[in-house]
Amino acid sequence: MFRNSASVWAAVRRAGMWAAALALVSCSTWMPIPPPAPGVLPAATHLQIWRGGQAVALREVTIEADSIRGRVIDRLGARPAGDLVIPRAEVDSFLILPRDNGNWFGMGLGAGILGSILVPYLLRRIGPEGT
């Protein structure tokens, strides 16, 4: 079907790398913010606080003049019983995780492109010779 199948598969691999890069770029990251004013952040807001070279991610955050109170976000999904209170004097920097639903679209688009390239490639690799 193709005259030079090696060059075709090289192009497929190159396109796959670009699709993987697109999928990774579409993921959201923590963004630095200036020290927030006292108040209550929306419940869905995730705030990351750096102090002494270590990060703590919080949700349901209340910011007071002298402290920050919130529930620790556990990566395994467990919910701690109490709040964590951090004195503002110990905080080095603040980061916030943006709630951007457009990232799901970009990630889905990148994953779809990657899948449409890799699935035929893998089927051809594992299929019987000559197909």
Which residues span the domain enclosing 39? Answer: 29-99
40 plus 76 within the same structural domain: yes
Domain shared by 50 and 86, yes or no: yes
Lowest mean pLDDT among 23-37, 45-59, 65-79, 81-95: 23-37
Whether residues 104 and 55 share a domain: the answer is: no
Digit-coded pLDDT (tens) for 69-109 = 998 887 676 666 568 999 999 999 999 887 665 567 767 77
Please state the pTM of the whole predicted model.
0.56
DSSP structure string for 66-115: SEEEEEE--TT----SS-EEEEGGG--EEEEE---THHHHHHHHHHHHHH
Give the Cα separation of 8 and 128 in Å (integer). 19
